[in-house]
Structure 1
Amino acid sequence: MISIRDVASRCGVSTATVSKALNGYSDISKDTKEKVLKAAEELGYFPNSVARTLKTNKSNNIGVLFNDGTHSGLTHDYFSGILESFKVGVEKRGYDVTFINNNIGDKKMNYLEHCRYRGVDGIFIACVDFNSPAVMQLVSSELPVVTLDHKFNNRSAIISDNILGIHDLVSYIYSQGHRKIAFIHGESTSVTQSRLISFYRTIEEYGLNIPEEYVRQGIYHRADATAKITKELLDLSDRPTCIIFPDDFSAIGGINMIHERGLSITKDISVAGYDGILLSKVLSPELTTYKQDTEALGQKSAEKLISHIEKPKTTLPETIMVKGQLLTGESVGQLKNY
């Protein structure tokens, strides 16, 4: 293994000079610095991470808390897109990523204990039960924290603009002539609350009187739950002309149920999803949906967390809203008589 002494020997300088060159100190000449950096690259020298941590009190390691209740893991398109963008963002700044959980092997520990065990410099909370005591303990700790789609006092949060998303989606459906709009939403979370508020605000804006049985609770990323509720909506004597599903993946269940009933999408009933994942583009007809900007969500989360880590005295906690984009698709037909 190449050491700092090997680099010093190659350059004919002291190990102290090599250390200064590698760490960007200004009290050595430009020529010496370039000579050291070139030698380090040629020799394949990398600073020992343990030694660096002891010296700087920084691990250059960021924890990610991702505990998906649907057990979809990194196959969940929305979260995988965000986490990939986040990973790219922190790695560009020289940080590694460690997933945080509540055990090390057979030893149980809470999230904060795991973070301290791994010596992370900060934590990105992407998906978890935000109301759990273990999460509250982590958020109340000394660690820099950035959360996704959930706000805590005095902590930075990166939020996908669900208020705007549902408003734009419902407005488009309304513009297509639909007045009987059903909404199958996900389980009780801050995201769901924002979407529900936006749904009710928007139908009020357009003077619509939506029956209570048109608004149902489903489960995010669960096609079977959506299929069951879609069947119930189709069985109503005065059924809706358009159904908004919790997300694009769960929309499959509703679409399959519509086909099982011998109905045609757009001709007999219209549908819309949410998220704008790749799947929405390959469905037939192409799904009308609202695309969340996963790349921007991950990138801004990385930037904000690193700012809290590297500039704690000047970085203020803030909530950053990230807008998405309406994808009109082809699954919402136009009603002529309205």
Structure 2
Amino acid sequence: MITITEVAKKAGVSPTTASYALNGRDGVKAETREKVLKVAKELNYIPNKIAQSFRNGKTRTITVITNELIERDNTFTGEFFGILSEARKQHYDVLIKLIDNREMSEHKINTIFSNRVSDGFLLLGNFPELYLKSFVDSKSCGILISSHTDEDILQVNCDGKSGIYNITKLAIKKGHKKLEYLTYQYLTEEEKLRFSGFKDAVKENKIGNAEISICGFDRESIYKTVFNCIKKGTTCFVCWNDTLAYTVINILEEMDIKIPEQVSVTGFDDIIPTTGEAILTTVHQPLFEKGRKATELLLAQINHDIEPGKKNNFFVESHIVERKSL
């Protein structure tokens, strides 16, 4: 196997300069870098990443752990692309560990976090507390993205409470007095925070009680919930996310209810539909930026610029996008 010393000798540079050139480090002239890269290609040089990690204590690899269906083009997919972008920029490789909550034991979780194949972890999605406690116990570098915990982990998220509060205030400003908060379920901390934003806006504007409907995930249940809300006079649905909001819009159209003349609908995320016009007034959540920022903060932990193992919230900014549904 060709060594970096042989590459350096043929290129007429020191092994350190050859290493810097091959790893994209600063301080190497462009012509020198080009010469080293040309020689490495000619000799078919393959870097020994394991040996490099023993020398400098780093693998220049991070692991994304997720139990979300990132392959289905959802909010977590956007965050994952942000992770890849920042990792590429900082010359890091990305490993992906896809897990299924139904198949994971405490032993399996501990095994994942005890490996030293990577320098740190990005935990993408909603994780049971057992997973997060295991992570904290491993004393690894890591960031939690789009979730909440009381464990000592730096968390990167969008302020869902504030986003729903602001869009509810906008609906009230436009004259709505009978609003309904609509969500699939009411279990996670994020679901509770968003509803609390809705409650605060309703209470501050003194337009009655904050109504919540938990509709489940199947379309038939959502249809029944929307139908019952319309019967009791709901004029605006403030939805948990865009996917639910577009389902509600389709149901209202089936009922021959005009949007927004008769009933308004708002969402959260700003996901552009694959077919049809984007008509939804929503809260834009910068998904790509969330993933990018989380990766930036993780690499700062790895490089000892910030201390890992401290609970803190880093919120990326969101804003309302007004379209035709409100």
Paired position in structure 2 for 1:169: 167
Local SS of the residue matching 1:119: coil
Secondary structure of 1:262's match?
A: coil
2:247 corresponds to 1:249: no
Note if contact 2:139-2:309 (Cα within 8 Å) is conserved in structure 1: no
Is residue 147 of structure 2 the alignment partner of residue 154 of structure 1?
no
- Relative to structure 1, the CA distance from residue 274 to residue 13 in structure 2 (aligned partners, 3 Å threshold; closer, same or farther) is closer
1:23-102 correspondence to structure 2 within 5 Å: 37-43=33-39, 44=41, 45=45, 47-68=47-68, 72-102=69-99
Cα displacement (A) at 1:226: 3.3
Q: Unpaired segments of 5 or more residues in structure 1?
A: 333-338
Change over 3 Å in CA distance of 1:19–1:73 after alignment to 2: closer
Q: Counterpart of 1:134 in structure 2: which amino acid?
A: Y
In the alignment, is the contact (CA less than 8 A) between 2:71 and 2:77 conserved in 1? yes
- In structure 1, what residue type is equivalent to 2:183? H
Correspondence for 1:226 among 212, 222, 229? 222
Q: Letter of the aligned partner of 2:177 in structure 1?
A: R
Q: Deviations over 1:154-179 (max 9, x none)?
A: 32111201122011100110111000
CA distance in 2 between partners of 1:25 and 1:262 (Å): 62
- 1:181 counterpart (179, 187, 196): 179
Partner of 1:327: 321
1:173-195 Cα distance to aligned partner (Å, 9 max, x none): 01110000001124311211110
What residue is the counterpart of 1:258 in the other structure? 252
* CA distance 1:228–1:62, shift in 2 (3 Å): farther
Contact 1:288 1:331 in 2 (8 A): yes
Match of residue 8 from structure 1:
8
Which shifted more, 122-131 or 298-307?
A: 122-131
CA contact (8 A) 2:66 2:123 kept: yes
Q: CA RMSD in A?
A: 3.1
Structure-2 separation of matches of 1:16 and 1:73: 40
> Structure 1 residues 248 and 313 mapped into 2: Cα distance closer, same or farther (>3 Å)?
closer
Confirm or deny: 8 A CA contact 2:245 2:267 kept in the other structure.
yes
Paired residue for 2:289?
A: 296
Is the Cα contact below 8 Å between 1:102 and 1:114 reproduced in 2? no
For the 8 Å contact 1:242–1:269, the answer to whether it is kept is yes
Please say if residues 182 and 213 of structure 2, whose CA atoms lie closer than 8 Å, have aligned partners that are also in contact: yes
More off after superposition, 44-53 vs 239-248: 44-53
**2:168 counterpart letter in structure 1:** V
Instruction: Show the counterpart of 2:207.
Output: 208
Identity %: 22
TM-score, length-normalised on structure 2? Answer: 0.84
Counterpart contact for 2:136–2:151, Cα < 8 Å = no
Deviation of the 1:11 alpha carbon = 2.7
Q: Which amino acid aligns with 2:88?
A: E
Change (3 A) 1:139 1:226: farther
* 3-state SS of paired residue (1:275): coil
Residues 141 and 116 of structure 1: CA distance in aligned 2, closer, same or farther (over 3 Å)? closer
Q: Distance in 2 between matches of 1:24 and 1:243?
A: 52
Distance 2:16 2:158 in 1: 48
Cα deviation for residue 23 of structure 1 reads 7.3
Provide the secondary structure at the position in 1 that maps to 2:258.
Answer: coil
SS in 1 for 2:265: strand
Tell me, in whole angstroms, the C-alpha distance in 2 between the residues paired with 1:277 and 1:102: 25
Question: What secondary structure is seen at the aligned counterpart in 2 of 1:63?
Answer: strand
Change (3 A) 1:114 1:124: same
For the residues of structure 1 that align with 2:182 and 2:253, how far apart are their CA atoms?
18
Provide the C-alpha distance between the structure 1 equivalents of 2:25 and 2:166, rounded to a whole number of angstroms. Answer: 52
**1:305 partner letter:** L
Partner residue of 1:309?
302
* C-alpha contact (below 8 Å) 2:300/2:306 kept by paired residues: no
The answer to whether the aligner puts 1:275 opposite 2:269 as a matched pair is: yes
Deviates more, 1:173-182 or 1:269-278: 269-278
Unaligned 5+ runs, structure 2: none
Q: Supply the distance in 1 between the matched residues of 2:81 and 2:75 (Cα, whole angstroms).
A: 10
